[in-house]
């Protein structure tokens, strides 16, 4: 009889020391990240209040992974992934201190520039971290580790958002930025104690290496040769086409319709608390029904689109903060399921030597989709005068289209699997 789900997570953390150190670094740095995001959003809303200005902040956070995608994937597959993570944390600790210099509307450009620098470094961190996990845990623990990562992300979102909103409202923006900087240093210390134990990537001798461009093209060629993997690598992007714009909508809801605390920072923190709890709960409950069954996982992803449709639609009819929070809960419940299972499917199916490039592509497409959505919603707010409810209803159409597309892929994929199974069973 299998252990209860919580027991599986506790066992993984307790008995896998290498993964435990990586998990500790995630807990610490992601808590600081939410302090940073809420403080930055509150600062821009306070100094400007423009929908495009708020959208510009999220755009500055989203574009670097897309622009740097061809480079970061090659780096993650060619160099020691642990060293990449440590260097990224140290650099971000220094960059975040620069946010303390932003004090007036005329200095918002500096906030954007520092945000671009911070997220440029983060672009190297995330693919390397995702690609490092299979070398720290057994294959049969991949679903558990990804579910734990998502639960941790959402828990830190809930805790960090709550504390970040409270700290920003009570103590000001400076405190939030200082905490974020310190969190990166502590995260780097934990990562320095990580040592891969399962087939770590060995750097190729210099004389055998392709050029960076050739290595990047080899990654794209792998995706072209494996269309099912390509579709899975685009799952997060399909979700981000709606979620990117919703980040702007949530700031508008918080500042203009349901403000709590200075500049709505309390409301924004509350929205992220609910989203954090729901994002973690989604994969936990989904695993009770799917286990590690691949067919069930594919169906769960379809269910996640249904949650997105309901959540966005409900937000479009929100006239109270409570209704908006319920909408956020349903929407992010589905998002958590999709995120965990798409990452797990990639780690299970992609060879280790291509993992960095595939996850970089995954992140790049997601950030490009988020950028398009963010820019459109920011313009719709200012240029078309659309209310946050109208924007939410507009975004609800995205998961409808994506659910239809995934249904066609699922039908084709399952048919192909049945055909292969029948051929194997033939005498």
Q: What local confidence, expressed as pLDDT, does residue 310 receive?
A: 93
pTM of the predicted structure, to 2 decimals: 0.68
In a domain, 365, yes or no: yes
Q: Which residues of the chain have pLDDT under 50?
A: 1-4, 203, 206-209, 424-427
DSSP-based three-state secondary structure for 2: coil
Half-sphere exposure of 264 (CA within 13 A, CB side): 23
* 427 assigned to some structural domain: no
With respect to residue 201, please indicate whether it lies within any of the assigned structural domains: no
Asked if residue 359 is part of any domain, the answer here is: yes
**How many Å apart are CA 161 and CA 163, to the nearest integer?**
6
Cβ–Cβ under 8 Å, residues 164 and 35:
yes
Report CA Rg, the chain: 21
Query: What is the distance between the alpha carbons of residues 231 and 241, in angstroms, rounded to a whole number?
Result: 15
Look at the block and give the residue holding tokens 């691949």. 294
Number of domains within the chain: 1
CATH at residue 264 = 1.20.1250.20
* Tokens (6 digits) for 92: 């971000």
Structural domain includes residue 108 = yes
Cα maximum dimension of the chain: 77
Cα distance between residue 210 and residue 219, in whole Å: 12
**Is residue 73 situated within a structural domain?**
yes
Q: Is 338 contained in some domain?
A: yes
Instruction: Tell me if 184 is assigned to some domain.
Output: yes
The pLDDT value recorded for residue 422 is 52
Within 10 angstroms of residue 108's Cβ, the number of other Cβ atoms is: 18
- For residues 321 and 325, give the distance between their C-alpha atoms in angstroms, rounded to a whole number: 6
Q: In 3-state terms, what secondary structure has residue 379?
A: helix
pLDDT given for residue 305 in this prediction: 93
Number of residues written out for the chain: 427
Pair 121, 75: CB distance under 8 Å: no
* pLDDT at residue number 189: 93
Please report the pLDDT score of residue 2 as a whole number.
Answer: 40
Give the other-Cβ count within 10 Å of 381's Cβ. 25
Structural domain of 369: 5-194+213-417
Hey, CA dihedral for 246, 247, 248, 251, is it positive or negative?
positive
């Amino acid at each position: 009889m299998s252990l209860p789900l919580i027991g599986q997570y506790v066992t993984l953390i307790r008995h896998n020391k290498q993964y435990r150190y990586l998990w500790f670094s995630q807990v610490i740095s992601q808590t600081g990240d939410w302090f940073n995001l809420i403080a930055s959003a509150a600062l821009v809303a306070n100094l400007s209040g423009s929908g495009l200005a708020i959208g510009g902040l999220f755009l500055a956070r989203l574009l670097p992974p897309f622009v740097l995608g061809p480079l970061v994937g090659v780096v993650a597959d060619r160099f020691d992934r642990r060293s990449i993570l440590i260097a990224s944390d140290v650099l971000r600790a220094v960059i975040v201190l620069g946010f303390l210099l932003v004090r007036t509307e005329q200095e918002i450009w500096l906030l954007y520039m520092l945000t671009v620098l911070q997220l440029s470094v983060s672009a190297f961190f995330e693919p390397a971290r995702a690609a490092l996990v299979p070398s720290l845990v057994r294959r049969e623990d991949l679903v558990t580790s990804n579910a734990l990562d998502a639960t941790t992300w959402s828990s830190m979102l809930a805790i960090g958002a709550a504390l970040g909103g409270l700290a920003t409202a009570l103590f000001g923006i400076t405190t939030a930025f200082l905490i974020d900087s310190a969190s990166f240093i502590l995260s780097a210390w934990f990562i320095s104690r990580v040592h891969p134990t399962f087939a770590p990537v060995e750097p190729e001798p210099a004389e055998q290496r392709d050029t960076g461009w050739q290595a990047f093209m080899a990654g794209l060629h792998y995706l072209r040769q494996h269309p099912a993997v390509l579709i899975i690598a685009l799952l997060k992007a399909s979700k981000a086409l709606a979620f990117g714009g919703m980040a702007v909508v949530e700031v508008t809801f918080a500042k203009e319709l349901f403000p709590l605390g200075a500049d709505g920072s309390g409301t924004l923190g509350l929205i992220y608390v609910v989203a954090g709890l729901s994002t973690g709960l989604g994969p936990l409950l989904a695993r009770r029904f799917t286990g590690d069954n691949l067919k069930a996982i594919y169906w769960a992803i379809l269910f996640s689109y249904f949650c997105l449709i309901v959540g966005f639609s409900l937000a479009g009819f929100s006239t109270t903060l409570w209704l908006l929070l319920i909408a956020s809960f349903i929407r992010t419940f589905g998002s958590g399921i999709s995120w965990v299972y798409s990452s797990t499917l990639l780690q299970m199916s992609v060879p280790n030597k291509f993992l960095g490039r595939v996850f970089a592509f995954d992140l790049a497409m997601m950030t490009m989709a988020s950028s398009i959505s963010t820019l459109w919603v920011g313009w719709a707010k200012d240029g078309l005068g659309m209310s946050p409810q109208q924007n939410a209803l507009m975004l609800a159409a995205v998961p409808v289209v994506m659910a239809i597309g995934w249904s066609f892929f699922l039908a084709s994929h399952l048919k192909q699997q049945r055909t292969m199974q029948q051929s194997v069973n033939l005498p």
